[in-house]
A and B are shown apart, each in its own frame.
Chain A
Amino acid sequence: AQKITQTQPGMFVQEKEAVTLDCTYDTSDQSYGLFWYKQPSSGEMIFLIYQGSYDEQNATEGRYSLNFQKARKSANLVISASQLGDSAMYFCAMRDRLTGGGNKLTFGTGTQLKVEL
C-alpha cells in the first residue's frame, strides 16, 4: 500500500520569499506518479505540478518546482516568490500506476501555508 507523509502541519513564509513543503512517500511500485494540489478555503482542489517516477528532470510549473529525490523517496514542493494568494492547504498525493484508468490518488495530511507581509 502507498503512503504519503507530510510532516509540516503548518508553515509561514514572508511574501516574496521561497518556501519548501516536505513530502515523503512509500511504495513498492516501480512506476508511480506524484502530485501536488492546492486547496484554498473555498475547498476546490487546484492541480499544481506532477512528477512521474521515471522522469529524469525535476518538474517545474511557473513558480512551482518539485525537488524529486527518488532514492530518498521525497518529493518536496518549492514555491518561489511567495504571494499572499498562495496561502492555502497544500496536499501531496501519489498515484500508484500509470496505466490507463489507474488514477486513484493517496493523499498526505496536508500542510497549511500562510504567506505574511
Chain B
Amino acid sequence: GAVVSQHPSRVICKSGTSVKIECRSLDFQATTMFWYRQFPKQSLMLMATSNEGSKATYEQGVEKDKFLINHASLTLSTLTVTSAHPEDSSFYICSASIPAGKTGELFFGEGSRLTVL
C-alpha cells in the first residue's frame, strides 16, 4: 500500500537553532500533505495544509514564520521549525492523501520527535 516516510524520526537541538523535518510519499504523488503536532498523551492538532506549488494554509494560532512549510514537489513536503525553543518540543507527524477519487484513508508518516534543549 501507499507509504509516507518522515525523517528524522528523532531530533535533539539547541534552543535558537532551526530544524527541518521531511515528509515523503514513497509510491504515490501527494498534491496535499498535512502537518500535525501532538503533545504527550494528547490528540493530534492540525498545524497546516501543505499544497504542492502553492503556499501552505495554516490553522488558526499557528505561527507561519515559526513553522515554515515547503511543498516543492508531488512527493516531498518539509516543515522547518525556526529558532526552536523548548516549548516547540513535540511529536510532529505528517500525512498525505491520494488525489481526487480516493475516499479512503490518509497515510501517515512515522512521526518526528523534536526535543529542544
When distances are taken between beta carbons in the complex, the residues of chain A under 8 Å from B104 are 50
Chain B positions 87 through 115: 1 when the CB is less than 8 Å from some CB of chain A, otherwise 0: 00001010101011101111110110100
Q: How many residue pairs bridge A and B at CB < 8 Å? A: 60
- Residues from chain B with Cβ under 8 Å of A98 in the complex: 103
Please count how many residues in chain B sit with their CB below 8 Å of the partner chain's CB atoms: 25
Residues of A within 8 A of B95 (CB): 45, 103, 105
Q: Chain B residues near A45 (CB, 8 Å)? A: 44, 93, 95, 108, 111
Closest to A108 in B: B43
A4 to B44, CA, bound (A): 12
Whether A43 contacts B31 by the Cβ 8 Å rule is no
Closest 7 pairs (CB-CB, A-B): A100-B100, A103-B97, A45-B108, A47-B105, A43-B111, A107-B43, A107-B44
